[in-house]
Amino acid sequence: MKESRPLAEESHTAQPEADSPAWHARSVAETVSALGTDPDYGLSLAEAAKRLARLGPNILAGARREPWWEDVVEVLAEPLVLLLIVVAGVYALLGEVEDAATIVVIILAVAGVEIMNKARAKRAIAALRSLSALRATVVRAGQPADVPAAEVVPGDVVLLQPGQRVVADLRLVETAALRVDESSLTGESAPVTKRADIVLAPETELADRANLAFAGTLVTAGKGRGLVVATGRATELGRVAELAAGVKEPPTPLQQQLRQLAGWLLWVALGFSVLIPVLGVLVANRPWREMLLTGLTLAFATIPEELPILITTVLAIGAYRLARQQAIVKRLQAVETLGSVSAICTDKTGTLTENRMRVVELWAGGALPPLGIGTSPEVARLLEIGVLANDAQLILTDGRERFVGDPTETALLAAAKTAGLQVGDLRAARVLEEFPFDDRRKRMSVVYERDGARWIAAKGAPEAILSVCAAVRLGGRVEPLDRQRLDELRALVDDLAARGLRVLAFAERQLGPDERPDGDVESVEAGLTLVGLAGLEDPPRPEVPEAIATLRSAGVRVLMLTGDHPATARAIAERVGIEARRVVLGRELEQATDDALRELVRTAAVFARITPEHKLRIVRTLQEQGAVVAVTGDGVNDAPALRAAAIGIAMGRTGTDVAREAAGLVLADDNFATVAAAVRAGRTLYENLCKSVRYYLAAKLALVTASVAAVLAHLPVPFAPVQIIVLELFMDLGAATTFVAEPPEADLMARSPRDPRRPFLDHPMRLGILAGGLSLAAAVVAVYLWAWSRGPGLAVAQSAAFVTWMIGHVVLAAHMRSERQPLLRTGLLTNRAFLLWAAAALMGLIVSMVVPTLRARLHLAEPGLTAWLVALAAGLIFPSWWEVVKWWRWHRRSSGP
């Protein structure tokens, strides 16, 4: 086995020297020599690591990582934090130095909370990006290896397949009907045919360099192998434009909606922050200095500055948790969309099934019924075709053969090996031309040399192969494929498919001496001789039936859209729980009018022999009917449907790069059960977000209402300015940490999907904010008035109000943890974050009241045991009306018909 040679000097910059030919003007041999590599062996692992260390990662200009202190400066420079700093400055100017120092400490605490939330969101988003990073298949030490694109180095041998994004500039060394979409680089809309066997003039324009593949372009058809000649900023893409690696994701519709809400609430809060001091001076005869500070502090406490950050934090952390469940979110919009999904269009192979194919039935030589795998000449010939017309890779690991690639193709190689064929020797045959599989032809074929003659070997869907066959091999003889034999074969295919098997047909013929192997594909594939059929088993995943039942109970339709045989589709659908009384074929969709298609989509759930164009039409029809559609896909041609869907779901293992880029969600395990788990998680996230915002705004409303009520009663505001700042700190902490970790309610997946047209701040949300805020305000005002009426002084009355608030807002948060389920059924101990926050709030209250120095800094006084008991009772009872309503509704639903 060859060792890779040292890297030539000119490749240190990943570009030719000025006096040497450009890469497109060099032959393959010259390129190999210049790069010090081997097109078959690739680089050794040690050499690849050495080049990566010397030349750096294969990335464009990356975003500068912000140091922690920049986050601190950014937070401290926010207008609302600056407002709090102004409050501290006013205190200092008015001689209240101790209060000013206390506010500075609280500023640091508030800034710390915000920095923590931003850091959590950044970590979550960074983790998602690393999970969904581009990868490439390279040859290292003679073996194919899947590596991150950033680790590709000059001299690497890269394997190209349809749907893959080219990760570096390549000098092609092998091509088979390779076509590349270069629109991202050259603007050319049509895919370009590539050839490795040509050498071009040095002055050839970029768009005409047919022996190169460029970073950022997309393989649309065929396959190839290329040598990396440039990486990172040295690529053509890097020279054309430095792409911003740190581009911020655009705001989701929900984020935009809540930012508008925050803007509206900003003016409401500022209005009350001006109104209350004016009323305090004019109505309650309070000192203007006191009311000025109160107004500034109320502005800080009531302006919903945390709302946009809260949304981003909840979505980002929720997305990271989804990733830990094998559902990688590529766009935050997908998180909020998941909760609204009402229809899922899923493929079959690898999603509903295990993608663990094995050949279980063979028909060859005319033997009926199907035979088991054997070594008869007919069976051996069929399996030879399966080995030749095959894109799977044969690699050696510790001297043992291993197959890597599409599960159907690796299953054929494994069957050939089991039958005693020398798979490696067969794969060494000289292939003259390859016609890759596509969705229109539904077959692939290769032209190769055998015994001095040229042959074509083809495999594919039975109807696609039979349509180009003129004969059939029966008992060692070649017989015409007449109508009777054709009907018998179709019946056999239907019988195998009805058992849930995927059926492939195999055919061949010898080319005439004057036939061009690279001629028109239709003419080359015409007049074949059918050799046999194979039935492959791919059992359904055991967890899929339960997942589909869960989605059905949640009001989500599941439709199977597959290119497989209709009988196979029906058999698998019935086994996983998808209604399959009618199976609609792709040709029916082509002939259907718009009205007929709407009826088909409304009544049928299984669609077979469909193309990506059919899938796109189904998705659009569902959307016209008002459905929020999720689509699964893995191929290049699935990208239109993935983009058209409300949320595209790509396969992480078998999916192509273009499918993953078009999708909003990537399944790391290609498992449909993960889709159901993602829908559940999406609903949970949205509900938790609603609960968090509802509590946050209810607490703001309670603070404003209590202040207005006191002033209208000709009394001072229930809280001193420094106390309001402390309340704000705990409000923000509660909203940001308590509800993110809330487990789903029991009936979450028994409810209909959320209507995406319904505004976030809908009637139930507004009612919850109003009721929650007024109940907490009522508790505070009642205790404040009671304490004031007893006459011990303002400090004692404000202290009683402070105690009531600290207890009451924890109780309110506890009741708001669930919307429909009573708290005792939810479980008091099911949310650890809530327990920690509640304990911190209550402990902070006790310390503030017990430690004399801290009590003085917060302008608190010991209210006495009676006041403590009254405050405790009010804080527990007033917000608890919520729980009474939930119990009543729960009991009514449980005892209903």
**Beta strands 343-346 and 557-561, pairing class:** parallel
Q: Would strands 629-633 and 647-651 be described as parallel, antiparallel, or unpaired?
A: parallel
What residues have CB less than 8 Å from 835, skipping those under 6 apart?
Answer: 829
Which one of the listed residues 99, 169, 181, 347 is annotated catalytic? Answer: 347
CB atoms within 10 A of CB 789: 8
Distances (CA, A) of 671 to 332, 344, 347, 609: 21, 14, 11, 22
Collapsed DSSP state (helix, strand, coil) of residue 344: strand
Structure tokens at 265: 């609430």
Would you say 134 and 167 are in contact if contact means Cβ atoms under 8 Å apart? yes
Q: Is the dihedral of CA 202, 204, 205, 211 positive or negative?
A: negative
753 and 554 in contact (C-beta within 8 Å)? yes
Report the alpha-carbon distance of residue 551 to residue 344 in Å, rounded: 9
Name the β-bridge partners of 453.
450
Cα distances from 856 to residues 719, 806, 853, in angstroms, run 14, 18, 5
CB-based burial of residue 97 (10 Å sphere; 0-12 exposed, 13-18 middle, 19+ buried)?
exposed
* Count of other CB atoms within 10 angstroms of residue 686: 22
Question: Which helix (H) or strand (E) covers residue 175, if one does?
Answer: strand 169-181
Neighbours of 3 (CB within 10 A): 11
Active site annotation includes 197:
no
Nearest Cα to Cα of residue 640 among 621, 663, 624, 664: 663
d(CA 775, CA 106): 27
Overall size of the chain counted in residues: 897
Alpha carbon distance 709, 276 (integer Å): 10
Q: Token digits for 443?
A: 């077959």
CA distance 765 to 754: 14
Q: Which residues are catalytic?
A: 347
